[in-house]
Amino acid sequence: MIENKLLDLENTWKGFKDCIVYKIIKEDERVTSLYIKSLDGGKLPGFTAGQFIAVRMKNQDNTYTKPRQYTLSLNSNEEFYRISVKSEENGFLSKKLCNEIQIGDKIQITVPIGNFVLKNGDEPLVLIGGGIGVTPMLAMAYDAVKSGRKIYLIYSIPNSKNHSFKEEINDLSKNNKNLITTVFYTRPEENDVLLKDFDISGRISLEWMQETLPKNGEFYFCGPLEFMKAIYKNLVKIGIGKENINYEMFKSGEDITK
C-alpha cells in the first residue's frame, strides 16, 4: 500500500496558492534550487517523497504563465518546499525560475501530487537519476535512509559542471551507512578527478548493472529520454521483473519500453 502523507486536510488548498521564494541556491551551471514558503505564513501539507507540485508565475501583464511540474527535491517538512529547476534551452518557465526570480518574489503552487513514490517493503532500493532526474531520487533517498533499508543511489551526469547536490549527497552517504552512492561522469573534464569527484567514467553499462545491482531490488529511475530507454532495457536484460521497475518521465509522449 502506498502511504500518502497528504492527510493534513487543514493545510491543503484547491488550485494555486500564493507562495514566496525565500532562498535561492545555484546548484550548478544550469540547476537552481528554490526554497518556497506559504505567503500567509501557514504550514504546508506533508507529501510523499517523489511527488511534485505545479508552479506558475505572474507575467508582466498580470496573466499567469502556463504551469509546469517540479518534483520536491527535499523530503517532507511543514515549513517549506524545495524545488530544483534546470534551465532548459528555449524553456519559458524554467528560465524564469532559474535566471529571473529574486528572493521575496511570489510564485503560485498546487498541493503536492503524483504516484511516483516508494512502495513499502524491505528489499534493497535502487534509485537511478540522470541529470535533473535526480530530484525524485534525492527526496526518496532522504526518506528511505531512515528505514535502515539498503539503498543504492546512482547518479549520472556529464561532468563536474553539472554535478548538482554534490556535497549534499556526500553528507547523506557519510551519515547513513545503509546508503551506497555511485556517481558516473559520462564526459569528464580534464580537471575532474576519478574517485574524488566521481566514481566511474562513461555511461551506466549493462555489465556494471549486472555485476553491481541486487537482483532482488526495487528499482526507481528518472532522467532524459535516451537514458531512461537504456536503463529500462538493461534492467529487463539483467532479469528484473517489470513489477519491480518504476519510473517517471519529465517529458510526456514517449514509451521507453519499446
Would you tell me which residues interact with ligand FAD (CB under 6 A)? 52, 68-71, 84-86, 88, 90-95, 132, 135, 248, 250-251
Name, in order, each residue with C-beta under 8 angstroms of 1's C-beta and a sequence gap of 6 or more: 120
Comparing C-alpha atoms, which of 26, 52, 58 is closest to residue 39? 58
Q: Are 87 and 29 in contact (CB under 8 A)?
A: no
d(CA 54, CA 48): 15
Minimum distance, C-beta of residue 191 to ligand FAD, in the bound complex (Å): 26
Query: Could you tell me the three cell numbers for 28?
Result: 550548478
Minimum distance, C-beta of residue 116 to ligand FAD, in the bound complex (Å): 7
Residue nearest to ligand FAD (CB): 91
Q: Which DSSP letter does residue 19 get?
A: E
Query: Could you tell me the three cell numbers for 87?
Result: 534551465
Minimum distance, C-beta of residue 66 to ligand FAD, in the bound complex (Å): 7
Nearer to ligand FAD, 17 or 30 (CB): 30
CA angle 83, 84, 88 (to 5 degrees): 125
Nearer to ligand FAD, 66 or 196 (CB): 66
Nearer to ligand FAD, 21 or 200 (CB): 21
Nearer to ligand FAD, 70 or 184 (CB): 70
Nearer to ligand FAD, 110 or 234 (CB): 110
Nearer to ligand FAD, 136 or 217 (CB): 136
Nearer to ligand FAD, 88 or 199 (CB): 88
Minimum distance, C-beta of residue 87 to ligand FAD, in the bound complex (Å): 8
Minimum distance, C-beta of residue 210 to ligand FAD, in the bound complex (Å): 29
Q: Pairing relation of β-strands 218-222 and 245-248?
A: parallel
Minimum distance, C-beta of residue 40 to ligand FAD, in the bound complex (Å): 25
Q: Which DSSP letter does residue 207 get?
A: H
Minimum distance, C-beta of residue 70 to ligand FAD, in the bound complex (Å): 5
Q: DSSP assignment of 128-194, as one string?
A: EEEGGGHHHHHHHHHHHHTTT--EEEEEEESSGGG-TTHHHHHHHHHT-TTEEEEEEESS--TT--B
d(CA 92, CA 80): 25
d(CA 31, CA 207): 31
